[in-house]
Amino acid sequence: MSRLSPWSRAARAWADLGLGSKGLIVLALPLAILLSGIGALHLSGRAEAEAEARVRLTFAIQRDIHEVHALLAEAASGVRGYRLTGRRAFLEPYIKAEALLPETLARLRQTTRDPEIRQRLARVDTLVVQKRRGLAQLAAMPGAGTAEGVEAPTVAGALVANKAVLDALRAEIDAMQRRESQLLEQRQAKADAERRRTWTLTAVLAGIGLLGGLAAAQLLFTGIVRRVRGLERDAERLERGEPLSLADEAQDEIGRLARRLVQAGDLLRSREAALREGEERYRRVIEGVRDYGIFALDLEGRVVSWNTGAERIKGWTADEILGQHFSTFYPAEARAETPMRLLEAARRDGRVEDEGWRVRRDGGRFWANVVITALHDETGTLTGFSKVTRDVTERRQAEEALGHARAEAERASRAKSDFLSRMSHELRTPLTAILGFNQLLGMDGETLTDDQRHGVDQISRAGGHLLAMIEEVLDIARIEAGGHALAPVPLDPAPLLADVRDLIAPQAQAAGVEVRIEGDAGLSVLADRRATVQIVLNLLSNAIKYGPAGGVVTVTLVGASGRVRIEVRDEGPGVPPELVDRLFIPFDRLDAERWSGAQGSGLGLALSRGLARAQGGEVSYHPPGATFILELPASPSHGQKPS
């Protein structure tokens, strides 16, 4: 690399200097010139002031010299008047001169600087002393106001001597006045010269400051404007997408801005390339979607884009549909109202979804799911709409078929319930007669043999079991038909559980099972008493039947927020996880082979859940172990303890 010249190094250093520093230098240069001018003006002003002060001093010296002469002349005249008239009033100028002369002479000695004037002032001091002494002698001589006092030889000699001293003083004072006049002319000329020099210096410095400021501003702003124009040209190239080359290598703000602009151009081109690639990829994805019609609408609802899915679903090609209003896709009866209503809803809410019949190019109809979304630019201005259409004709047909099947299933369920209800009534009538005749046979027990009494007992147990099963079937049928009339009222569950324990006691004693009641006191539930007793009896009966012999069944009352839980827990192994989902299915006896000795129809839990739900509650199973929970709403008229 070649060695740079001092001028090149200075130019590079100036280019690398920050704009703030450059501006400071540009401002500092004329300010420095201005301050220099102010300093020079100050010095010149001081010289001018000194010259003017010397002029004023000359005037003061002349005034004091004149005052010395005047005081002595008036004093001499007053003494002569006093000698001629003898009146002491003529002595006042003499007395005044005696008072003022020492002060005036002292001031002259302090202010006088010229050697010639100081020499003459020394002689004046001597003559003034002689004059004052002579006047004092004349004033003190006797005979004032008489002819003898005036004509006496001593008086006449004193008058002549005083006049000679006064003439000498006048000559010295005249010489001093002439010298001071010469000095005054010199000092005035010097003051005028200083004044002219001050104005000349002011004009020169003002011109230098103005030219220096203009030169510095030209130096700064010419370079800045040139470089800013370069940036403007780079911005225009950037706008056209052309690559930028780094031409400004300076390290100041404009140089850094130029480099950032080049970097921004590179980043913008890479992002534009990525955006074009993404748009192309998005276009290919949209074009490749065949199951959805995806297209765009302008603000008036005209089609401005069209994908393959839209062409497949609706039948129009892009050339045929672009520019057409999207109401073309609607049946004639909905074309006037529905499209505008959907656009207005999308404009208001940002998005609207609709389903209905639409029309294909060939006139055929299909059931469509449509989503219209409002599109906005970065300022929030609405620019158009996107519309996604999906052909859901098969789904609608499936839903209609499912509806028909559901209606058929409901009719079959009602027919089943009617059949069960009628059959239960038909079975209960002869069964009641059988149980009645069996009771009559039991009343003649003394005449029966042991085998006959055993048969009567078997008939009674089988009949009772069959009658209970018929009642459960009737209850299930009523619940499914919605005709099970319940009357929920506020109940205290503690006495109810005690009554249920008494009812279940024979079964528990037969199995050697202890039934315990635990939990919160003072709770209240909103429930139907008969239905609740039936539910708890079913849960306790299952716990006794399927729990271990000689075990314990625990019934626990728990108050929750707005609910009351009755938990029934036995010491058995519980329900296998794979069978839990079948717990509440009617007539489904789980693990029947294992519990073949236990009586049951498989309706108890299903009936219990139905009765619980009919009064706003629920029956559920909770592993591990064997715990069934009846949950009922708490009575709003009774406070409940927090859980």
Q: For 562-596, write each residue's pLDDT tens digit.
A: 889 999 998 887 787 778 777 777 655 555 444 44
Q: Which of 136-150, 335-349, 398-412 has the lowest mean pLDDT?
A: 136-150
> What is the C-alpha to C-alpha distance for residues 314 and 366, in angstroms, rounded to an integer?
9
Residue 455 has a pLDDT of 72
> What is the C-alpha to C-alpha distance for residues 430 and 437, in angstroms, rounded to an integer?
11
* Confidence tier at 431 by pLDDT (50, 70, 90): low
The residues, ordered by sequence, that sit 6+ positions from 341 with a Cβ below 8 Å of its Cβ are none
Secondary structure (DSSP) of 301-317: SBB----HHHHHHH---
Q: How many CB atoms are located within 10 Å of the residue 198 CB?
A: 17
Q: For 176-227, write each residue's pLDDT tens digit.
A: 778 778 877 877 787 778 778 877 877 787 777 777 667 666 666 666 666 6
> What is the C-alpha to C-alpha distance for residues 624 and 573, in angstroms, rounded to an integer?
8
Give me the mean pLDDT over the 94-118 stretch. 82
Q: Which CATH class name applies to 13-207? A: mainly alpha
Say yes or no to pLDDT of 85 above 90: no
Q: Which CATH class name applies to 289-391? A: alpha beta
Check residues 434 and 350 and name the one with the higher pLDDT.
350
Could you give the 3-state DSSP secondary structure of residue 546?
helix
* Confidence tier at 643 by pLDDT (50, 70, 90): very low
**CATH 1.20.120.1730 in the chain, residues?**
13-207
253 φ, ψ to 5°?
-65, -40
Residue 340 has a pLDDT of 92
Fold of 487-633: Heat Shock Protein 90 (3.30.565)
Say yes or no to pLDDT of 533 above 80: yes
With contact defined as beta carbons under 8 Å apart, do 538 and 572 qualify? no
Say yes or no to pLDDT of 497 above 80: yes
> What is the C-alpha to C-alpha distance for residues 28 and 213, in angstroms, rounded to an integer?
9
Say yes or no to pLDDT of 420 above 70: no
Helix ranges, 488-528 (H): 493-511
The residues, ordered by sequence, that sit 6+ positions from 275 with a Cβ below 8 Å of its Cβ are none
Length of the chain in residues, anyone?
643
**CATH 3.30.450.20 in the chain, residues?**
289-391
> What is the C-alpha to C-alpha distance for residues 388 and 349, in angstroms, rounded to an integer?
17
With contact defined as beta carbons under 8 Å apart, do 570 and 553 qualify? yes
Q: For 233-287, write each residue's pLDDT tens digit.
A: 777 777 776 776 666 566 666 666 666 767 676 777 777 777 777 666 655 555 5
Q: For 11-58, write each residue's pLDDT tens digit.
A: 666 566 665 666 666 666 666 766 776 776 666 667 667 767 766 777
Residue 437 has a pLDDT of 57
Residue 598 has a pLDDT of 46
Percent of the chain with pLDDT over 90: 10
Residue 363 DSSP label: S
